[in-house]
Each structure stands twice: as C-alpha cells, then as structure tokens.
Structure 1
Amino acid sequence: MYTRRLFAIAFSLVLACQAVTPAAEPKVTFESVAKTHFAKWVKGSADGTLTPERIDALVNNPHITGDEAAAVAAVHVYFRGRKTPAPVGEDTLLAAANPVGQEERRDQVTKPVNLQKVFTSFRNHLKAVPRDLFTEGGPHRTGMSQGRLGDCYVVSAVGAFATQHPEKLKNLFHPQADGSYEVSFPGRPRVHVPHLTDAQIALGSTTGQQGLWLNVMEEAVAIASRPNGGAEVAMDAISRGGSAGQTIELLTNHKSGRVAFRTSATASHPPHADKVAALANETRAHLIAVRDHNRLACAGSPHEGWVPPGIVSKHAYGVLGYDGKTDHVTLWNPWGNTFEPKGPAGLKNGYPTKGGVFTMPLTEFVQVYRTLFYETDAPAKKK
C-alpha cells in the first residue's frame, strides 16, 4: 500500500513537470523574420515592392536591430549581387531564401544568394560581437576575418598594420560622447563615423572578440572614399574592389610602390627561370626594406589563370614578413582560413595555412602572385 502511494505521488510530479515545461520556441529563419517585417519595410510603396534604396535606408537605420537587422543586411547582399537590381515583392524574396545552385563566394556575391545562409551568419555574428570599440587587448591581427564585403584590399593592409604597428593603429580611433567615432588618417582631416547600426556591423568584417574597431575602420575608409556622402550604404564604396596600395597610403601617408609579376598574357604559363630570378631579386630588395623599416606590404593574386590549391584568385593578401635566411615570404589571407595541402607543400599542392598565415619561397611567390604593393618613405600625394 505504501509503495503504491509513493508511486502515485511520483507519477503526479512527473505529470506536473510535463505540464509546466515550456514549448520549444519556433526556429528563427529568414522567412519568419521577413514575413513579420516586410509590410513595414514597404510601407508607403505604391506597388508593395521592396527597392534597393529602401533597404539602404534600413541598413543605415539605428532602430533596426537584432534579427530584423540580420535579415535587412541579407537582403542588402541580395540586391548588391545584381548589376541592375529590380524591386521585389514578398513572394520573390521568400523564394530566394533557399535557392538551389552555385555556392557563393563569401566576399564576392554571385547568383544565387542563399538568404537563409547569409541571415544565419549575420544573426550569429550580431549575437557574439562585443559592442565596445576595443576589447581583449586589441587591435591585433589574430581573430580578424574579412566579412561579406569585397574589401580584401582594405582588410589585408589593416591586418599588416595591426601586425607591425598596433599602437599606431589604435591611436587612429577617437570615440565620441554620442557613440560616434572619429578616425584620424595621417595627413588628412578626421573622418566622422556615425554610431554603427546592427545591419552595418553584420555586413562588415570581424575581429573575433576584439570589439568593433575593424567595422569602424571599414566605415571610415568607405566614407573617405566617397567624401561627398550619399544616402546609400557607405561600405558599398569599398565592396566594389580597389588597390591595397591605396589603403597603404591612407594608413601611413606614405607613397606606395608596386612590382608586377604576372599579367593576363602569362597567367596560365609560369615565367622562364631567368625571369623568375630577376623578379625575385627585385622583390627581395623591396621586402628587405619593408622588413628593416617596419613598413607595410600586400600582395594581389591574379585575376585569372592558375593558382595553387588554397590560394584565392582576385584577392589581396597581407605580407607579414621576409626571412633572408630561408628566402621565404610570410603572407596572410584576410579570410583567416585554414588549409592543409594534399601532398608536399609547393606550387602543386599549396601551402599549410593556419589563421590565414602561411609561408612560401620567394621564387614561388613571384610565380603565383600578380602584384606586390609596398610602403616607401616618400610622402603620399595630398588628397
């Protein structure tokens, strides 16, 4: 009798626990967020469609936060991937949430854009990113990773700068009492960066847990690139590509030099041994000067033609060092990626990469890459 009573009490407790267990929250998806907010996004539209201009305004709106900001940023990527973007209705937008087709490159959007995948990435980033300008002893290169903007020519140079001159980099930033920032590029008037919106943070690069300084830097470079302003998203000005040499000049106020290795005519054919030796000798002299004077350098990969596995074409890399004893160059992919060759390291199999960093012989460097940009001691031209 006593045993039955205990069993009854235990069974009642189980039922009570089940009764108060909350139901699982519905999964947050791009589709669910877009359905919730689409009517607000198109409010006042004569035909109920969403235009790139409206999305630009939402990206720049500080009141758009959290999941809605992640969805707005994803739609911005959707529009940016089209040469002549047309307004879209809700059904068309939702149909693009999970397209079937070619996988997109992270920094160079190609059709189709998987809105659900982009939204999830942005949502996770917004949840994790610290909102202070600097944390964890930043700025430093470790943890930096280029976002969905095509601004490798900016991030690669900034990563090299963070490696060589972290204190100089930190001193470029001037937080303001209203939550905005000023960035003082040497030899130029300060650039005012308004308080970043969640959508702007989602679209930019990340420093891991170092804070928002790289997002602020990207915004400052973008604003400096379009001094007359405009209603569009400022960071789009740097997502269209550019020269790492220009970024080096912006960061240092020193003129950048350039050595060209490959052209489209030789993209699929390695140069003759004599040509390789001559290029290596010229490049070595510049790399020694960069190393000995703590200057900045970046390398651009070819726009087309062969590259070793693990090397990305049409991409900018930071040059972190040169070892005269081994005649090796150390480079950094601003994606912060990891790669392991399937065979001996070299031109055929690529180079072991961790956190985007790898080394390669100088004679192979001049065969793989298209251009070396390097800081000189000459003053940059006044803008």
Structure 2
Amino acid sequence: MKPTSLLLIPLCIAAANTATARDAETSTDKDRVDFLTIVDTKFASWDADTDGELERGELDKLVADREILGDQAAAVAALKRASRYKKIELPKFTAKAIHELAEKKPAKDWPNLAAMYASGVKRLAKVQQRVLFASGKPRLETVHQGPMGNCFSLAPLGAIAQGRPEYIVDEMIKPLPDNRYEVKLGKKKVTVDAPTDAELAMTAGNESDGIWVNVYEKAAGEAHNELKPEEKRESTGLDALSKGGSAGTQLAFITGHEMYRLSCKFAKEEKISKEEFDQKLNEIREALKSATKEKRLMTCGTVKATIPGITPGHAYAVLSYDAEKDLIRVWNPHGDTRTIKGEPGPANGYPMTDGVFDMPLPVFVKEFAGLAFEILPKS
C-alpha cells in the first residue's frame, strides 16, 4: 500500500521526557543525606585528576566501572544524569557545588539529585536477576522507560516484544563469553559488555525480568553513536540515545525492513470536509487492518496532547487494530497503569494497564501525529 500523506513521526525529545521522569521521582531527607554521604566519602577517589571537580570524562569512567555497585552506582548515575541537563548552565561538579545542588529545593529545570539518586536505588533493587531473559522470553508488561528520553527506541522494541518475542530471543540478542552480548540491529551487529549498575540505574526498568531491555538500549546507543561523524559523537552510547529520535526510523533500523508513514494532520484541520476526513480516516483504517492481519510492526507518536494520560512529544507502539470495534491498541513505553473516573473518552482519558490502552480510531487521529508501518520483504 502506498501512503498518500507523509509525516515524520515526532521526535521523542530527551529534555522533555527527562523532565517528565524527574517530576515523577520523589526523595526524602534520608535520600539526600545518603547521597551526600556517598559523595563526601568517594569524591576524592572519583576525582581521578585531583582537580577538585568531577568532569564528564570522569563521570563516564565511573558509569562504566563494574566495581561501583548498589547505592554508590545510583549516586554516580544521578550525577551523570544531571550532567546532561541543557536548559540551564550548571556549575562545575565540585564537592561544594554538589552539596549546594542537593541541599536546596530544585527550581524548575534544575536537577533534583536526591530524587535521581533515590530513583536509581529503587531501580537497582528491582534488578534481582542479572540474566538476559528471566521468564525465558521478553514480556511487554514488565518494561518501563527509564529517565532517558529514549521512547523512540523503546516503542519499536515494545512492538517486537509483543509481536515477535521469539525473534528477540533467537536472533536479536545473544549472550557471548566474558559477560558480553551481541545485538542484531537490522543488518548491523553490535557487541557490548553487560550493563554496569550505574547504567542499569539510568536505563529502563524491567521488574526483575532480566536485563534484555538494558542490553538493547546500550547496543542501540552505541550503534547510533557510530552513525555520526567522529567529531559529532557523544561521549557514550547512552548519551547518544538520550538525544531522542524518530520511532519510525528506529523501527526500520532495528528490523532492517523499510517502513512507510501516514499522517494524522488532516484530523486537526478545521476546514477539512467530512468527505475528505472520512477518506483519509479510511486510508488509515485499511493500513491498520492490513498491518494487523500480516503481523507487521507499527509505531505512532504525539506532538501535543489534549487527552488526560496521553504524553506529549512521545513515541508509542501500535499493537493491533480491531476493525469491528474501530479500536486501536497502543502501548506507552512508560508502562503505566491508569484508572479513570467516569466514562472513557477525550475528557477523562482511557484506562491503561502496563502502558496498554484502547482508543477509538476517530479519536486517535485527532490526538496523535501519525503512524509508521513496517514493510515486510517479499519472500
């Protein structure tokens, strides 16, 4: 099927989603004290060049250090996350500046170090099994996007986990000797070390169901970094991944298959006629019916959001389409569960379980920006 209208699926913007994750994070006075105690105890040894500040290169080495574990790794992850902030110019990370940042109530757009630390501690506490697939295969319901703005990379992964979990196990991620993994991303193969504790504290949560998502994120970041000219590469792959991107482009990148896009822009046009609206809506219906029947992967995304529970500037996976009920089933990489008061609809939103929710297609096209569809190669 040829698309008649094209739209780049909106970028999952790192800054926006980092703020969303930060706002959901909380901390106590104990978290702040624990974090600062670790910083006071370890600062001298972490400051490798003894210049009195933790620079980005030093933080990157600490994140990659396999001997930094548990709460100390959570503290390192918090500092690394804070170092990515772009909306404001942070002071150099001296011991004094870290204390000042952690001890005052963070203003808007300022990093909340204590909350970041507490989030990392909680995330690591859930990573009880450092095996690849604790349940034997990926389970979509366990995946929760971490504090990076990488919904664009998790949305297509979620589509694969739901539609082709055996592909992830049999072909996509393979364990190697020496605690390493080979990850197949389209025609490209990337080899990475197992994630460190600090990397686990910063990447997706998987509810003790293995580290396959985190291995994928690490490999995807490395692959994205390698695509850039050397002078424009980020210091780590996860830094590159946190910059955001297009879910449709990532879908093609992961599968190695071409894809096409359909825009929902028509649904926001005030002067569109009913005939033209229905024509374009039916075009999307047919695309969804075909993709669902042929088990092709799909993603979608938002720019703005007007419905409660829908995240703006965010990428989602499309899991299926029920033509009889005219319902599209969507997965939010945040993996939230949401109940509503009153009737489901644009005013109250839609109930969500582990990120999965159903929405009438005529409502969907007014809320979402567009869709991307996998094109299966001809056999």
> Identity percentage over the alignment?
33
Which structure has the larger Rg over C-alpha atoms?
1
Partner in structure 2 of residue 60 of structure 1: 64
What is the one-letter code of the residue matched to 1:277?
A: D
Alignment correspondent of 1:121: 119
Alpha-carbon distance in structure 2 between the residues aligned to 1:201 and 1:144? 13
Residue of structure 1 in register with 2:285 after alignment: 284
Answer 1 or 2: which has greater helix percent.
Answer: 2
Query: Runs of 5+ in structure 1 lacking a partner?
Result: 1-25, 103-109
The code of the aligned residue for 2:241 comes to I
Deviation of 1:95 after TM superposition, in Å, equals 2.0
Counterparts of 1:192 and 1:73 in 2: how far apart (Å)?
Answer: 23
What corresponds to 1:347 in structure 2? 346
Residue in structure 2 matched with residue 142 of structure 1 by the alignment:
141
Q: Secondary structure at the match of 1:175?
A: strand
Partner of 1:249: 252
Paired residue type of 2:203: G
Whether the 8 Å CA contact 1:351–1:358 is kept in 2: the answer is yes
SS at match of 2:57: helix
1:15-53: per-residue Cα shift (whole Å, max 9, x none)?
A: xxxxxxxxxxx977211111111111223233x112222
By how many angstroms is 1:243 displaced?
Answer: 0.8
Question: By how many angstroms is 1:346 displaced?
Answer: 1.2
> What's the CA shift for 1:152?
0.4
Shift of 1:100: 2.5
Looking at structure 2, the residues matched to 123 and 37 of structure 1 have their Cα atoms a distance apart, in angstroms, of 17
- For residues 271 and 49 of structure 1, do their structure 2 counterparts lie closer, same or farther at Cα, with a shift above 3 Å needed? farther
Q: 2: distance between equivalents of 1:184 and 1:369?
A: 30
Distance change >3 Å, CA 301–CA 98, structure 1 → 2? farther
> Which stretch has the larger CA shift, 309-318 or 27-36?
27-36
Residue identity in the other structure for 2:94: G
In 2, distance between residues paired with 1:180 and 1:287? 38
Question: After alignment, is 161-170 or 191-200 more displaced?
Answer: 191-200
**Count of residues in Structure 1 that have an aligned counterpart in Structure 2:** 341
Any conservation in 2 of the 1:98–1:115 contact (CA below 8 Å)? no
Asked whether the 8 Å contact 1:180–1:192 carries over to 2, the reply is: yes
Q: How far off is 1:275 after superposition?
A: 4.8
Contact 1:59 1:233 in 2 (8 A): no
Amino acid at match of 1:335: H
Amino acid at match of 2:259: S
Residues 307 and 368 in structure 1, CA contact (< 8 A), matched pair in contact too = yes
List aligned pairs for 1:1-383, cutoff 5 A: 29-46=34-51, 48-82=52-86, 86-101=91-106, 111-129=109-127, 130-171=129-170, 172-188=172-188, 190-227=189-226, 232-262=235-265, 266=268, 273-302=274-303, 304=304, 306-378=305-377
User: 1:358 aligns to what SS in structure 2?
Assistant: strand
Displacement after TM superposition at 1:247 (Å): 1.8
The CA distance in 1 between the partners of 2:274 and 2:146, in whole Å, is 38
Q: State the Cα distance separating 1:173 from its structure 2 match.
A: 1.3
- SS at the partner of 1:184? strand
Contact 1:163–1:320 under 8 Å retained in 2: yes
Contact 2:44–2:50, Cα closer than 8 Å, also in 1? no
Larger relative contact order (CA 8 Å, sep ≥ 6): 2
Residues 52 and 79 in structure 1, CA contact (< 8 A), matched pair in contact too: yes
How far, CA to CA, are the matches of 2:38 and 2:271 in structure 1?
51
Deviation at 1:284, TM superposition (A): 0.9
Q: TM (normalized to structure 2)?
A: 0.84
| RMSD (Å) for aligned C-alpha atoms | 2.3
In 1, Cα distance between equivalents of 2:125 and 2:354: 22
1:341 Cα offset (Å): 2.9
Q: Judging changes above 3 Å, is the alpha-carbon distance between structure 1 residues 272 and 207 closer, same or farther for their aligned structure 2 residues?
A: farther
Q: Return the alpha-carbon distance in structure 1 between the equivalents of residues 352 and 234 of structure 2.
A: 40
